[in-house]
Structure 1
Amino acid sequence: MNDKKALIADISLLIVAAIWGSSFVVTKSTLDHITPFYLLAFRFIIATILIGIVSLKHLKKAKISDIKAGLVIGITMLLGFLLQTIGLMNTTVGVNSFIVSANVVMVPFFYWLLTRRRPDGYEIFGAIMCFVGIGVLSLDGNLRLGSGEILSLISALFFALQIVAVGHYARESDVYVITTVQMAFVAVSALILASIFEPQITTFNTDMAVPIIYLAVFSSMIAFLVQNIAQAHTSSTHAAIILSTEALFGSIMGVIFLKEIITIKFLIGCMAILISVIISEVKPNLSNLKRQKTPA
């Protein structure tokens, strides 16, 4: 039964990754019509209302610990999405998605701080490969990182923290409550930031409405609820590996829908990041293989 739940959790996280991959393209296109803070605010206001309706019975029984957990996750989510969205304005979908996927390499190191379990050689090698890939993807001819790439990298850091936080709280807290609270926090915070730093929106058309509804319903409410439920049945590192495939989905969709160009430099950088991402997944398989070859 536990194996079956773990398999369902993995499949669910892969679907979430595909949805998030599509959201890179949708967000990039929508930023031509609306500013980033207002985009996030409307996206998460709608998502909060919807998940609030679904979670009404759970919210009535919410504990202080559930609300605190939701706020902690919400802070990491807010910073991750703000930086990712602004970064996406200054780089391509492919580069942004692959750099953000670097969060999988960061997760074991944050767990090191939380549990005192030192990353092993595979994880250290993965981190080195990851940052080599980011360098190939992001550095220009003068060996400088662009603003879009820098913001994407910092957003990956906060998404790694979010995965660790979800893994820490999901088994002990009501996932419906923490999902609602984290989205409400992002919605309110983004709306406040938008009202302070961005010009007021005077028109609202279908070019804004349709993508925002998609991002709210699928990329926010459904995806994060499924993530929080699924992570109760798998490890944070394992979840991070599966979720990082959003970079593949995002890059492919960027080429198909936005006509982004694939270069040799891009492919080399992506391959390095992919190797770093899967190294933690290959590690247990190698261990199992060694055990199988060892005579009893």
Structure 2
Amino acid sequence: MIVFEKQKLQLNRYQADGILLLTAAIWGGGFAAQRIAVQFLGPMMINGIRFLLAAAFLLPFAHFRVEISKSNLPGVILAGAFLAIASNLQQLGLRYTSAGNGGFITGLYVILVPFFLWVFWQERVGWHTFLAAGIAVIGMLFINTGGALRFSSGDLYELAGAVFWALHVILIGIMVRKMNVLSFSIGQFAICGIVNLLSGFLFEPFQISNVWQAGWALLYAGIISGGIGYTLQAIGQRHSPASDAALILSMESVFAALFGYIFLQENTTSVQLIGYGLIFAAIVIAQILKPVPADQPRVSDSPHRIDQGLP
């Protein structure tokens, strides 16, 4: 059994990377589960249920105590807001695109992260980032309509979601170095879940029978992908360099396509496979060629500059 408190949990880099790889596999399966759930419920209702399930699942591990200081509360609220926006865009996109497309387009957050660090914290953006971005754009064109300059609405929702996933990843890297992982996870899940559930009741049609029909998919998305997956991400990011974390978590897109093929019989064309390969290559380039100067701390790896304030 994993003990989550910072002072008791000691992991080396390779153990942390293994946890992040497991997280990527769990999240990849989540795309297939969400693709099933969206056939029965609206995006906000799905996310409301699954994130409240995630928070409830984690509460016993925290001994039913959530400790969030006043100084950390704005960061937790902001994380919950980013999570709500990103997850709704992702869930909405999965109504109109495949689990594989959703996984690979969402994975573009890895390329967006250094751009946001450049904008908000003035970190240097190297040529490799622009190269990766260009390759990723070509890959997205290949995924959609054989390379024609046109995107389905689902893919555009996924792309917009990738922006907020990037912001969420950066914020997690900040907050897990400042507070207890479980308290942070439960806090952001509760905020995200409550906002989504209330919005779902107000703006989406709802029947209790649909919840039962989407039951196992909601349980996977809530407890396994949410409660376990996001917490493993937070643990892994605490003990793994940001460069490792972003690259390993990008494997989520590969697992999403694999599980979509196995469980949903989603077939891909050869052109789409080329697009998947280009996006994955772009993600790898964005990380492998990333320079990390020894004498210059990075926001994504160090809490010291971040503690001065959030963007």
Q: TM-score, normalised by structure 1?
A: 0.89
2:119 corresponding residue in structure 1: 113
SS in 2 for 1:156: helix
Give the superposed CA RMSD. 2.2
Q: Cα 1:142–1:120, aligned 2, differ >3 Å: closer, same or farther?
A: closer
Give the Å deviation of 1:117.
1.2
| Bigger share in helix | 1
CA distance in 2, matches of 1:140, 1:151: 19
| 1:52 shift after superposition | 2.4
Q: Tell me how far 1:70 sits from its aligned partner.
A: 1.4
Match of 1:64, SS state, is coil
What is the match of residue 103 of structure 1?
Answer: 109
Q: How far is the alpha carbon of 1:21 from its aligned partner? A: 0.4
Structure 1 position 26 matched with structure 2 position 30: no
Aligned to 2:20: 13
Q: For 2:204, which of 198, 213, 231 is the aligned residue?
A: 198
Give the residue type in structure 1 aligned to 2:25. A
CA distance in 2, matches of 1:276, 1:92: 20
Map of 1:228 onto structure 2: 234
Does the Cα contact within 8 Å between 1:99 and 1:153 map onto a contact in 2? yes
Q: Aligned in 2, Cα 1:277/1:44: closer, same or farther, shift over 3 Å?
A: same
C-alpha contact (below 8 Å) 1:108/1:237 kept by paired residues: no
Aligned residues: 284
Amino-acid identity (%): 27
Taking the aligned partners of 1:69 and 1:242, their CA distance within structure 2 comes to 25
Q: Secondary structure at the match of 1:144?
A: coil
2:223 partner amino acid = V
Pairwise CA distance, 1:138? 2.5
User: Which residue in 2 is equivalent to 1:53?
Assistant: 60
Residue 115 of structure 1 and its aligned partner are, at CA, apart by 2.3
- Post-superposition Cα deviations, 1:217-266, rounded to whole Å, max 9, x if no partner, equal 11001111111121112233431221111110010111111111121210
Deviation of 1:195 after TM superposition, in Å, equals: 1.2
TM-score with structure 2 length normalisation?
Answer: 0.85
Q: Deviations over 1:129-186 (max 9, x none)?
A: 1111112213577622111010000011110111011112211122211111110011
**Residues 1:280 and 2:280 aligned together:** no
Q: Deviations for 1:91-114, whole angstroms, at most 9, x for unmatched residues?
A: 111111110111111111111123
Of 78-87 and 206-215, deviating more is 206-215
Task: Structure 2: state its 5+ residue gaps.
Answer: 1-9, 294-311
CA contact (8 A) 1:70 1:180 kept: no
Unaligned runs of 5+ residues in structure 1 are: 288-296
CA distance in 2, matches of 1:228, 1:38: 25
1:185-218 Cα distance to aligned partner (Å, 9 max, x none)? 1101111210111113242564322221121111
| Contact 2:110-2:286 at 8 Å conserved across structures | no
Q: Deviations over 1:42-62 (max 9, x none)?
A: 111111112223224652x43
The separation in 2 between residues aligned to 1:256 and 1:220, in whole angstroms, is 21
